[in-house]
């Protein structure tokens, strides 16, 4: 008999709490993420230029190809790329940098959703009474895919440094290990 999702509510919630705590340690206590973002050489001028644009929060591409289906074949676009500074720009709401509460709340909701997905797959594949190491193996693999595997496309497509993507991946390994430990510990007998 496999395990119903509803009976896994405790490991779902506790794994989210444990991963949230691990995230606090990884991002606030340990110093390894301080080098992920570099300052601009003239931050004041760049901020003044961006403030003059009156940008709404969102994602921007510089230069933007417009509706061009093949921008690499457009000499004007190619010249703008070669003569400028190509960039992906994410504009945040001002409040987000000053009050992390809503962002942390969304992150906790994501961790709960990750716990639900881990529970769904484990519950559909593992019967009650499965030994700790087997539960750890399956839930850890599922959590690893969810927490870590998106790190490298960030480097491949979005310009993240290899260092930042690797640290993001390794953070996900920690979240996966914590999640797997909680599910193994609380798996129904």
Question: How many structural domains are present in the chain?
Answer: 2
Judgement on whether residues 85 and 125 belong to the same structural domain of the protein: no
Judgement on whether residues 26 and 105 belong to the same structural domain of the protein: yes
What tens digit of pLDDT does each residue of 74-133 get? 999 999 999 988 999 999 988 888 888 999 999 999 999 999 999 999 999 999 999 999
What tens digit of pLDDT does each residue of 28-53 get? 999 899 999 999 999 999 999 999 99
Q: Which residues contact 131 (CB under 8 A, 6 or more apart)?
A: none
Judgement on whether residues 17 and 78 belong to the same structural domain of the protein: no
CB under 8 A, 24+ apart: contacts of 32-35: 32/167, 33/167, 35/163
Judgement on whether residues 89 and 57 belong to the same structural domain of the protein: yes
Judgement on whether residues 106 and 88 belong to the same structural domain of the protein: no
Judgement on whether residues 78 and 15 belong to the same structural domain of the protein: no
Judgement on whether residues 169 and 103 belong to the same structural domain of the protein: yes
What tens digit of pLDDT does each residue of 97-112 get? 888 899 999 999 999 9
Judgement on whether residues 48 and 14 belong to the same structural domain of the protein: no
Domain residues for 10?
Answer: 5-37+98-186
Judgement on whether residues 118 and 33 belong to the same structural domain of the protein: yes
- Is 1's pLDDT higher than 80? no
Distance CA 11, CA 119 (A): 8
Instruction: Note the pLDDT of residue 12.
Output: 97
Judgement on whether residues 53 and 136 belong to the same structural domain of the protein: no
Per cent of the chain over pLDDT 70 is 100
Judgement on whether residues 21 and 76 belong to the same structural domain of the protein: no
């Amino acid at each position: 008999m496999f395990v119903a999702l509803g009976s896994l509510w405790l490991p779902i919630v506790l794994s989210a709490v444990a991963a949230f705590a691990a995230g606090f340690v990884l991002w606030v206590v340990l110093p390894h993420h301080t080098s992920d973002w570099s300052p601009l050489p003239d931050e004041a001028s760049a901020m003044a230029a961006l403030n003059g644009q009156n940008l709404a929060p969102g994602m921007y591409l510089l230069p933007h190809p417009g509706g061009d289906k093949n921008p690499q074949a457009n000499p004007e676009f190619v010249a703008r790329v070669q003569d400028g500074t190509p960039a992906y720009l994410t504009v945040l709401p001002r409040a987000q940098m000053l009050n992390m509460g809503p962002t942390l709340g969304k992150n906790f909701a994501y961790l709960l959703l990750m716990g639900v997905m881990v529970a769904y797959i484990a519950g559909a594949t593992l019967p009650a009474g499965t030994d700790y190491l087997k539960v750890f193996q399956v839930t850890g693999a599922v959590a690893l895919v969810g927490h870590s595997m998106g790190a490298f496309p960030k480097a491949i497509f979005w310009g993240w440094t290899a260092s930042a993507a690797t640290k993001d991946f390794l953070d996900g390994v920690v979240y996966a290990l914590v999640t797997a430990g909680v599910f193994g510990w609380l798996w129904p007998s």
